[in-house]
Homo-oligomer: A and B are copies of this chain.
């Protein structure tokens, strides 16, 4: 069986598709059959939205379903908010197999359950063959704000920069699969709330926190630098990168700093709290390889510098243009 145009008509066939694949796995007590769902909300909420167009839709370590949950969850988590509710919009290409669709929906279910997050609204459209590439998903998410004041414009002179693990695995896996290379690593795609939660407790000062998605570490560093108008220096030797990622970068002549991650964060904290944050990260499976990679030099003008392993200091470029479309 595969998805037909008539599955998008809004009538009986649409209800069949929704019952047999979507509701079968995703039904919960909050998801209504009406045009909107009514919920109790915490007083202070965080809200985010993200569209996922990743190609290929199945990759080592994940698929577009898992990614569409983890990506939205992480955008809330790095703003100090506990993920609670999700809405999802699916755009399906005529001809997509039910088998592939169900695999994706099961990934969504597993990732939602792992995070105890409820899908509360959903929408499905079918477009004719060639009008979308297999499946695109939009995820919007609502969370309860636990800690306020985390912002990319809050970096201060002296702040310490910490990355939560090895970088670039997601981008490297996607790139390798598209080029038909074997690569002996998985995408880092993961929901990070459980790792981030203990960092938000009272007494720890977090100035900025971001997940390293499109544009990777380099782009996030530039956003921190520009939004806070500060100069940043990072040290190459302290940045955790796995051999297969370095190898692929050498073959393709690219830098790992611009490769996307989907389960890594960059944190700016005070020198006083840096080791506390590092210890908390390292105590979680997803933060085992966390590392202090640099600091904020001064608050004069935005610049990002890299001290190479040879001891030279050079300007760190953002990813120039679109290195790799459809990474997420």
Please report A residues at the B interface, Cβ cutoff 8 Å.
Answer: 4-14, 33-51, 53, 74-76, 78-79, 81, 85, 87-91, 120-123, 125-128, 130-133, 136, 138, 140-143, 145, 148, 151-153, 210-211, 213-215, 218-219, 222, 227, 258, 260, 318-323, 325-326
Contact A91 B53 (CB under 8 A): yes
Contacting residues, chain B, for A210 (C-beta < 8 A): 35
Contact A5 B138 (CB under 8 A): no
Given contacts A131-B132, A326-B127, contact A47 B10 (CB under 8 A): no
Contacting residues, chain B, for A214 (C-beta < 8 A): 8-11, 14
Contacting residues, chain B, for A12 (C-beta < 8 A): 222, 318
Contact A79 B120 (CB under 8 A): no
Contact A41 B38 (CB under 8 A): no
A296 to B74, CA, bound (A): 48
Contact B219 A49 (CB under 8 A): no
- Per a CB cutoff under 8 Å, which of B45, B75, B130, B131 touches A41? B45
A7 to B136, CA, bound (A): 18
Contacting residues, chain B, for A126 (C-beta < 8 A): 322, 325
Shortest Cβ distance from A55 into chain B, in angstroms? 8
Contacting residues, chain B, for A142 (C-beta < 8 A): 47, 142
Besides A34-B152, A41-B45, A51-B125, 6 more A-B contacts (Cβ < 8 Å) are A10-B213, A11-B222, A35-B74, A36-B81, A47-B87, A49-B89
Listed A/B pairs (30) with beta-carbon separation below 8 Å: A5-B322, A6-B322, A9-B215, A11-B215, A11-B218, A11-B219, A11-B222, A11-B321, A13-B321, A33-B152, A35-B48, A35-B75, A36-B75, A36-B81, A37-B46, A38-B79, A38-B148, A39-B44, A40-B43, A41-B44, A49-B87, A49-B122, A50-B123, A51-B138, A123-B138, A125-B326, A126-B322, A128-B325, A131-B132, A138-B138
A12 to B131, CA, bound (A): 28
Contacting residues, chain B, for A130 (C-beta < 8 A): 130
> From A139, which residue of chain B is reached at the shortest CB distance?
B89
Contact B8 A325 (CB under 8 A): yes
> From A122, which residue of chain B is reached at the shortest CB distance?
B49
Shortest Cβ distance from A48 into chain B, in angstroms? 4
A145 to B130, CA, bound (A): 40
> From A149, which residue of chain B is reached at the shortest CB distance?
B38
Shortest Cβ distance from A44 into chain B, in angstroms? 6
- Per a CB cutoff under 8 Å, which of B8, B50, B211, B319 touches A9? B319
Shortest Cβ distance from A278 into chain B, in angstroms? 22
Contact A91 B51 (CB under 8 A): yes
| 8 shortest interchain CB distances as A-B pairs | A10-B214, A6-B321, A138-B138, A10-B215, A49-B87, A36-B48, A140-B140, A35-B75
Contact A11 B318 (CB under 8 A): yes
- Per a CB cutoff under 8 Å, which of B5, B38, B326 touches A44? B38
Contact B140 A87 (CB under 8 A): yes
Shortest Cβ distance from A69 into chain B, in angstroms? 14
